[in-house]
Structure 1
Amino acid sequence: MPRSRRSAEPAPAPTARGRGRDRHGRGIRSSATGPYLPPLRTRIDLFDMTIASSVDYLRGVWPELADVVFEVAAGPRSVIPGVGVERWWVNAAERRIVFYRLPIQRLTRLHRNDEFHQRMVIESCVFRAIAELLGKDPWDLAPDRFRHL
């Protein structure tokens, strides 16, 4: 009959797994930026800043946008059959526009996936949503901005 390889010593207590655990004797983990630097910019921060800067620019050009409420949500509650996932929602009666971050960021196919092109996609969604609210063409919202000198 084979003997058990277990010893009479008690098993060591399991280690607590937390954020700063010592892994394989390499020391406690810390943040990637260190204690003296600000945290790294995230995709959510970039999205919010791009929406805010585009809205501020268009509010300066169009005074009718002063009372419009702009919001950012993760995504729509449902998918529209035949259309797909909405990128934004405009409620003209309440003067409110909601931008959906995940569909704009993840469902848009970019030929070059860098920060510049991501900003352009977000800005184009802002322009198209505001044009829908005002009943105008997106290119008419800021004609001087796109004029090449």
Structure 2
Amino acid sequence: MARRRDSRRITQPRPARGLARGRHGRGVRSSVAGPYLPMLTGRIPRFEQTVAETMDFLRAQAPEKLEGIRLEVAGMPPDEQQPDAGIERWRVVRPSTIVLFRVPIDRLAKLHCPDPVHYRMHIERVMLEAIGDLLGKDPWDILPDRYDAE
């Protein structure tokens, strides 16, 4: 028995994939944070942002001391160390370049309060130690007036 042409079910054309709805018919996906919360960031961008903001602050406070100093961020130090030397947190590469190693700074931090403020202070302390190492000064001498009581 032949089917009649008009008894066939006519379907609507399907929209392009992903435009009409997301997986399983739940609607279009949105940000995990939602429209009212800031976008989430990862460890690497947060670390690099902290380094950049701290260096901008230090350059504004002591431009003559920090003129020409460059900071770079790397993941891990190269595997050419002596076994008893420990893990480097930074390395002075050229006369005016410091390479900060993000993973040792992050993972070997022993913060008594693991919150963003103490994490930022830890990164700033490591940066001051690295700059002090480059300049041959005590880290407290880089900004001597900063910590005076008023």
TM-score using structure 2 length: 0.72
Structure 2, gaps ≥5 residues long: 1-21
Structure 1 counterpart SS, 2:84: coil
Percent identity over the alignment is 48
Match in the other structure for 1:108: 109
> Does residue 48 of structure 2 align to residue 54 of structure 1?
no
Aligned residues: 127
Match in the other structure for 1:133: 134
The answer as to whether partners of 1:92 and 1:133 remain within 8 angstroms in 2 is no
CA 80–107 in structure 1, closer or farther in 2 if over 3 Å, else same = farther
Match in the other structure for 1:143: 144
Looking at structure 2, the residues matched to 129 and 34 of structure 1 have their Cα atoms a distance apart, in angstroms, of 39
Instruction: Quote how far apart the aligned CAs of 1:110 are.
Output: 1.1
Structure 1, gaps ≥5 residues long: 1-19
Instruction: Quote how far apart the aligned CAs of 1:58 are.
Output: 2.1
Moved more, 54-63 or 138-147: 54-63
Moved more, 62-71 or 132-141: 62-71
Looking at structure 1, the residues matched to 146 and 41 of structure 2 have their Cα atoms a distance apart, in angstroms, of 27
The answer as to whether partners of 1:73 and 1:100 remain within 8 angstroms in 2 is yes
Question: 1:1-149 to 2 correspondence within 5 Å?
Answer: 21-22=23-24, 29-34=29-34, 39-60=39-60, 61-78=62-79, 79-93=81-95, 95-149=96-150
Moved more, 27-36 or 100-109: 27-36
Structure 2 counterpart SS, 1:65: coil
Looking at structure 2, the residues matched to 112 and 55 of structure 1 have their Cα atoms a distance apart, in angstroms, of 24
Instruction: Quote how far apart the aligned CAs of 1:62 are.
Output: 3.8
Looking at structure 1, the residues matched to 127 and 116 of structure 2 have their Cα atoms a distance apart, in angstroms, of 17
The answer as to whether partners of 2:65 and 2:142 remain within 8 angstroms in 1 is no
Q: One-letter code of the match for 2:91?
A: W
- Segments of 4+ in structure 1 off by > 4 A? 25-29, 35-38
Instruction: Quote how far apart the aligned CAs of 1:44 are.
Output: 2.1
TM-score using structure 1 length: 0.72
Instruction: Quote how far apart the aligned CAs of 1:37 are.
Output: 6.3
The structure having more radius of gyration, on CA atoms, is: 2
Q: One-letter code of the match for 1:102?
A: V
Q: One-letter code of the match for 1:39?
A: M
Instruction: Quote how far apart the aligned CAs of 1:144 are.
Output: 1.6
Moved more, 105-114 or 55-64: 55-64
